[in-house]
Amino acid sequence: MRAIRRFTVRTVLPQPVEALGELALNLRWSWHQPTRDLFAAIDPARWEAVHRDPVALLGDLPPERLEELAADDAFVARVQDAAADLHRYLTEPMWYQGLEGSPPAAIAYFSPEYGITSVLPQYSGGLGILAGDHLKSASDLGVPVVGVGLLYKSGYFKQALTRDGWQTETYPVTDPDGLPLTLLRDADGTPASVTVELPGGRELTAHVWKADVGRVPLLLLDSDVPSNDEAARTVTDRLYGGGGEHRLQQEMLLGIGGVRALRLWSRLSGAPAPEVYHTNEGHAGFLGLERIRELVAAGLEFDAALEAVRAATVFTTHTPVPAGIDRFGRDQVQLYLGDSDVLAGVPVERVLALGAEDYAGGDPTVFNMAVMGLRLAQRANGVSQLHGHVSRAMFNGLWPGFDHSEVPITAITNGVHAPTWVDRRVYELAAEHVGGPPGSRSFEHVDSVPAAAIWNARREMREQLVRDARRRVRASWRERGATDAELGWVDDVLDPDVLTIGFARRVPTYKRLTLMLRDPQRLRSLLLDPERPVQIVIAGKSHPADEQGKRLIQQMVRFADDPEVRHRIVFLPNYDIEMAQTLYPGCDVWLNNPLRPLEACGTSGMKAALNGCLNLSIRDGWWDEWFDGENGWAIPTADGVEDPDHRDDLESAALYELIESQIAPRFYDRDADGLPRRWLEMVRHTLASLGPKVLATRMVSDYVRQLYLPAAHAQRSLNGPRYAGAAELAAWKRRLRAGWHGVRVDHVESSGLGDSPQVGEVLHVNAYVSLGDLDPRDVAVQVVHGRVSENDELTDVRTETLAHVEAYEAGRHHFAGDVTLRRTGPFGYTVRVVPRHEHLASVAETGLVANA
């Protein structure tokens, strides 16, 4: 018999311990070990049974146990101390409060998914985990971020395997009342809501739930409300589910509805309106259109509204894979944004132009969310230095005439939230031997930790992983139809004294899950080596619609099912945060072998490194910039080999060779005390060299300094009385574009160098240019110089701005200046004219340039 309605009844806590409710609802517990220990002490067995979920634990306790706790003076004192500690954390000044000037009072952060804790299953992979770590670290630094996302009724999916190793998906329904969330309510107690207009007079209404991520409120929009029709109620049914129309409605709710939710939150809580808006990938890009609509409704014309919005917007691109970018049919976007009142007053043709692929190689029939995101943001970034380079090449068509290096997309390398991902044994080591937790200056003192202490902790974490893996393998085989009588072999799966390699991530083809299977016999010999055996723990989900990814998983599972090797290699289904928190610390080596350069960043190796695990990776993403030859191993890449099969053969052979000739020997090379001294030197070096770099607090502080503060300054300078600055900038750009056809470099002369130029000599440049109707103050005439190739291509360029010397009739002008030669080798230069305005963030911002 099935229920026609379901809901969760929350417990009423006795007054002496009622602060447990506040502690359970603030997700700081997910990274604060003392708070987790407090909940575990209530009932250790029940705590594990509810997967360490405080809300579920309190809801599962019988009234008698609650009364016992309320009568236990020592426990009540622990609760009061924990509540006081949380209050201090939420209110005391932190790093951000010490910044000089006037940093923004609020920053909105939009993302389609958030990986904060397995208790709140609103994530699928790296994008969501990054967003969760961003919010947690913002909280730890006191950065006034407000998160915005969607509340998915079934989250992503729960992964299982069939008997023959095929991935299956189920979608367990979650009840918001059973999650660490609170519903926003109006003054009369009714649920507060936002509405997004749809075509045909339909409306999409959403309630707004709030998760407290430490100091950061996270607003999650839920379309499963009674006032919606059946189709609208399912808009937030699952993450990345449904077809194009379903995804479009999700992204309208996230972007447009999300801005409206922010306004609702400010009205109900008194929180300041955000000064900066951070779009985490293109999924939330419609937020810029809603903010334009607000300004147009207030009387601003479209171009001025666009400039005001751009100044305050930061856009982060996360994928170098074109297939990972959302693209909708132009006609579909016309229907949803033009044939409804959702953007009343905003010309739909201007909206369509923002997402148009109107560049060489683009598709005129589609609307590209990443392209719109870049056009709506004055500041944009990739998530590693290599990814920034790839992104500049990928989107170069938006800025024709500029070299890739000048495309206005910078890079801030991702980081990870250490308190979430570092095992408590590592914290205990740091506390005992260096006097501080990982993430402080303790990384400088890692050499003071005894080798034996590091090795013993590493073995304990490996043993913890072995126990967890055996439990998961047994449960998986039961789901696959095996009986307990068939599963005696599971007790011998993995060995806490064997070199353990981990590989866990999403399973698109470019991440190459099965690269290690290119030579199955060689892999078997590594796994079964009698002197230096290797064991591998693998996990990962394929998108439900990705049949190729599922085939890769099946291929891996079938290999791992072989009785000859199944004690040395396992595939663990349903990879999630809970699994990861045991997997990263328990591995000795973290493997990553994507097809370079298609890994934007890849933060799993960072989490492993903070636990003393060594990386074995293709030089892609973050590993490309921070591998130093001593903190792990780089798998050689066969760049330039066009045959993908041959490339995989070459790179898999390099992988086997590294494991066989370097990694396994170093792990098993022990001294008289049984310690692998050279291995432990690499562990220490990894912690010292990577520890400070891979922290999400470093990442968030980089965002604050490099993007949030400049964006806040820019929007304040434009958004004065009646947005006069935005209106002036918009008018200037119109005049610039209208007159740019008359801009050209007519003639260039140079002097000052001898027949054999030497370092220190000065090149004098005279440039004669036509500006048509434009004023010399509208432009910068630049000498662009650098190393020159045999085909006259400039690299490693620098620019010098020439001074205006004289004006002639017919809009012609003379500019001049000097360039000091500071480098030896082939030298070349050219002259160009670019727009200049105090409110431009980059010379390439307008996409206009006149090259000699």
- The string of DSSP letters for 367-431 reads EEHHHHHHHT-SEEEESSHHHHHHHHHHTGGGSTTS-GGGSS-EE----B-HHHHS-HHHHHHHH
- Residue 241, token pair as written in the block: 């589910």
279 forms beta bridges with: 110, 315
What b/e sequence results for 245-278 when a residue is b if at least 16 CB atoms lie within 10 Å of its CB, and e otherwise?
ebbbbbbbbbbbbbbbbbebbeeeeeeeebbbbb
pLDDT of 4 reads 56
Q: Does residue 672 surpass a pLDDT of 60? A: yes
Mean of all residue pLDDT scores within the chain? 95
Q: What is the pLDDT of residue 719?
A: 86
| pTM of the predicted model as reported, rounded to 2 decimal places | 0.96
Residue 322: its pLDDT value, please? 79
Q: Are 689 and 444 in contact (CB under 8 A)?
A: no
Q: Which of 99-113, 383-397, 480-494, 786-800 has the lowest mean pLDDT?
A: 786-800
- Cβ neighbors of 756 (< 8 A, separation 6 or more) are none
Decide if pLDDT at 836 tops 70: yes
CB-count exposure of residue 746 (10 Å: 0-12, 13-18, 19+) = exposed
Closest CA to 485 of 495, 474, 494: 474
State the Cα–Cα distance between residues 213 and 208, nearest whole angstrom.
16
Q: Alpha helices, DSSP H only, in 536-661?
A: 547-561, 577-586, 604-610, 621-626, 644-658
**What is the tens place of the pLDDT at every residue in 708-767?**
999 999 999 998 888 999 999 999 999 999 999 999 999 999 999 888 899 999 999 999
245 contacts: CB under 8 Å, gap ≥ 6? 332
Of residues 530, 612, 614, 615, the one with CA closest to residue 568: 530
Cα(553)–Cα(572) distance, integer angstroms:
11
Q: Residue 772 has what pLDDT?
A: 95
Q: What is the pLDDT of residue 335?
A: 96
Tell me the average pLDDT across 74-88. Answer: 98
Confidence class for position 572, pLDDT limits 50, 70, 90: very high
Asked if the model's pLDDT at residue 436 lies above 80, the reply is no
**Strand, helix or coil for residue 834:** strand
Q: What is the spatial distance between Cα 696 and Cα 341, in angstroms, rounded to a whole number?
A: 40
**What number is the average pLDDT over the span 60-77?**
95
Question: What is the Cα–Cα distance from 59 to 78, expressed in whole angstroms?
Answer: 20
What are phi and psi for residue 487, nearest 5 degrees? -110, 20
d(CA 458, CA 453): 9
The CA distance from 99 to 534, in Å, is 49
- 742/771 Cα distance (integer angstroms): 6
Q: What is the DSSP string of 138-172?
A: HHHHT--EEEEEE--TT-S-EEEE-TT--EEEE-P
> From CA 579, how far away is CA 585, in angstroms rounded?
11
Confidence band (pLDDT; 50, 70, 90) for 241?
confident
Bigger pLDDT: 6 vs 34: 34
Residue 321: per-residue pLDDT: 83
Confidence check: pLDDT of 297 > 90: yes
Cα separation of the two ends of the chain: 78
* 617 phi/psi in degrees, rounded to 5: -150, 150
Residue 440: band (very low, low, confident or very high) from pLDDT cuts 50, 70, 90: low
Where does 13-95 show beta strands of DSSP type E?
none
d(CA 283, CA 379) in angstroms, rounded, equals 17
pLDDT at 702 over 90: yes
pLDDT tens for each residue of 144-176 = 999 999 999 998 999 999 999 999 999 999 999
**Separation in Å, CA 796 to CA 519, 658, 802, 826:** 42, 34, 20, 12
- For the ranges 92-101, 314-323, 770-779, the lowest mean pLDDT is seen at 314-323
- Residues 806-826: what's their mean pLDDT? 94
| Amino acid (1-letter code) at residue 521 | Q
Tokens 């200056």 belong to 441
Cβ atoms of residues 688 and 430 within 8 Å: no
Judged on CB neighbours under 10 Å (0-12, 13-18, 19+), 633 is buried
pLDDT 10s digits, 527-545: 999 999 999 999 999 999 9
Encode pLDDT of 267-294 as tens digits: 999 999 999 999 999 999 999 999 999 9
List the single range of 83-92, 556-565, 708-717, 783-792 with lowest mean pLDDT: 783-792
For the cut 70, the answer to whether the pLDDT of residue 2 exceeds it is no
Burial class of residue 504 in the structure, from the number of CB atoms within 10 Å of its CB (0-12 exposed, 13-18 middle, 19+ buried):
buried
Helix (H, G, I), strand (E, B) or coil at 112: coil
**Side-chain-side CA neighbours of residue 349 (13 Å):** 0
Provide the sign of the torsion angle of the four alpha carbons 626, 631, 635, 638, taken in this order. positive
Nearest CA to 727 out of 176, 306, 433 is that of 306
Report whether pLDDT(354) > 80: yes
What is residue 445's predicted lDDT score, i.e. its pLDDT?
84
CA distance 701 to 539: 32
What's the mean pLDDT in 430-439? 78
**In Å, how far are 355, 380, 605, 663 from 602, measured between CA atoms?**
28, 19, 7, 22
| 560 CB burial (10 A radius; 0-12, 13-18, 19+) | buried
pLDDT of 249-272, one tens digit each?
A: 999 999 999 999 999 999 999 999
Indicate if the pLDDT at residue 9 is higher than 60.
Answer: no
